[in-house]
Structure 1
């Protein structure tokens, strides 16, 4: 039988704007594989490299880990509490 679960841990998150300050804060790598292709930003997570786009949210978990969440998914899933 399936059961429903609700997260009880709070996270901190901020919307990614692609600033140098955010890149340094989260250790984001900007990689451009070709002059013909726009560079992509990568967030290093405990599960490996993850593409982060302008507008995505970068979440910080209870153990200090970071991950990116698509803006649409974040806004449908999380509610600001402060």
Structure 2
């Protein structure tokens, strides 16, 4: 069997350092900093999803699903899966 995903509009925001606070509030996420090495720290947003806690890096898209759930999506997958319907001002 083959199936096609139904066309459903979702809300999405691309996570940047400039909009971190707004996106964090929007999705109920938490900002985290992890020491990768003694010299490098990784900054990211943690999001409680239906599949557990997930990390979103800067540049990732945060998507609000059809049931109000949030999850991160890498930019390449986002652009292969979604077409921009309307730009929304933050």
TM-score, normalized by length of structure 2? 0.74
Query: Shift of residue 61 of structure 1?
Result: 1.3
In the alignment, which residue of structure 2 is the partner of 1:28? 29
Query: Shift of residue 51 of structure 1?
Result: 0.8
Runs of 4+ in 1 over 6 A off after TM superposition: none
Query: Shift of residue 60 of structure 1?
Result: 0.8
User: Number of residues paired by the alignment?
Assistant: 81
Q: Structure 2 unaligned segments of length 5 or more: list them.
A: none
SS in 2 for 1:49: strand
TM-score, normalized by length of structure 1? 0.80
Q: Structure 1 unaligned segments of length 5 or more: list them.
A: none
Q: CA RMSD in A?
A: 1.9
